[in-house]
Amino acid sequence: MKIGLIIGIILGVVFTDINDIATINTLKSEAEKAYKSGNYKVAFYKYQMLVDSFQVVDDNLLLNYANSSYYLTGLNGKIDEAVTGNENASFAEVAMTKYQQLTSSSDQEIRSAAYNQIGVINYHMSNNVQEQGEKYLNESLSYFKQSLISNSTNDNARYNYEIVKKKLENQQNQDQENKDQDNKDEKEENKENKDQQNQDKQEQQEGEQDKEKQENEEQQENQEQQNQEENQDGEEQENEEQQQSEQEQQEQEEQESQQSPSEKLKEMNISEEMAKMILEALRNNEVQYIQQQKRKPTKKADGKKPDW
């Protein structure tokens, strides 16, 4: 009884393995046919079953699986959740994962092809993610270099390497030109700002000088006007004082003219008798002066004759 059971189990395992092998061979044939005909979506699912379900280990088969995923990236779709078990896994992510696995392959051609394809994906990423474009280009160049190290006869990798290297050089040159232009623009802007500041400062100084000059002129005009007003006031006061003095003198003269001789003499503290005596003396002096003038000779004296 036990022997029969053991035999049955053995035969069951053998028939199961035979069935799996038949299924695997069928899937391989169908996957390869779809891949070569360009039907990458069918090929993708066939390879996915072989690798993930039946755990087939074959670097050539894994490379076709990765390539099928890569060729489907343009569809912008997602792999069925039932197949991948991850609804957020895109074709590009599956391709990148499988290519990364193949970078450890013992086959140098397969290893070189995997590095090359990772470089291609990074190159496309540099175009799609502009803000990190240079980063992806440098990574792409590094993978192409690894591809050539793995297999120096990989012409696709060599061509891609030269293309990316040239693009990086052009981009770096453009960045340098942009930087130089930015520096030039900044210098010109700084110069313009400095010139404008100097002009504003000069205009401010000129404005202050004009203001100071105007204030000085106004102050001088005010001073002249004040002096003129003071002079005018002084002249007016002097005229008033002179007029007042003349008026007082005139009043005094009028007052004196209205006084009698006796009042005038009294005011001068001179008596009438003294006044008469002074007047008589003045008259005598006048007569004496006239007589002396009459005695003087009219002819010039002779110098040879004596005076007597």
For the chain, the domains span: 1-102, 115-213
% pLDDT > 70, the chain: 81
Question: Which residue, chain included where needed, has tokens 């199961």?
Answer: 16
The alpha carbon torsion through 89, 90, 94, 96 (nearest 10 deg) reads: -120
Q: Is residue 4 scored above 80 in pLDDT?
A: no
Average pLDDT over residues 58-70: 95
Position 96 confidence tier, pLDDT thresholds 50, 70, 90 = very high
The answer to whether 122 and 145 have CB atoms below 8 angstroms apart is no
What gap in Å lies between CA 193 and CA 183, rounded to an integer?
15
Judging by beta carbons within 10 Å of its beta carbon (0-12, 13-18, 19+), is residue 267 exposed, middle or buried?
A: exposed
Determine the pLDDT at residue 292: 75
> What would the pLDDT profile of 251-296 be if each residue is shown by its tens digit?
777 766 666 667 666 767 777 777 788 888 888 877 777 777 766 6
Q: Where are the alpha helices (DSSP H) in the chain?
A: 2-36, 40-48, 59-71, 81-84, 91-102, 108-128, 133-150, 155-257, 261-267, 272-295
CA 220, 223, 228, 231 torsion-angle sign: negative
Least confident of 93-102, 185-194, 270-279: 270-279
CA distances from 89 to 73, 86, 96, 147, 270 (A): 11, 6, 11, 26, 151
Structure tokens at 230: 């003071």
CA atoms within 13 A on the CB side of 50: 29
What gap in Å lies between CA 217 and CA 67, rounded to an integer?
93
Q: What is the pTM of this model?
A: 0.55
Determine the pLDDT at residue 84: 47
Across the chain, mean pLDDT equals: 81
What gap in Å lies between CA 296 and CA 288, rounded to an integer?
13
Determine the pLDDT at residue 282: 83
% pLDDT > 90, the chain: 37
What gap in Å lies between CA 127 and CA 123, rounded to an integer?
7
Least confident of 8-12, 84-88, 121-125, 223-227: 8-12
What gap in Å lies between CA 63 and CA 67, rounded to an integer?
6
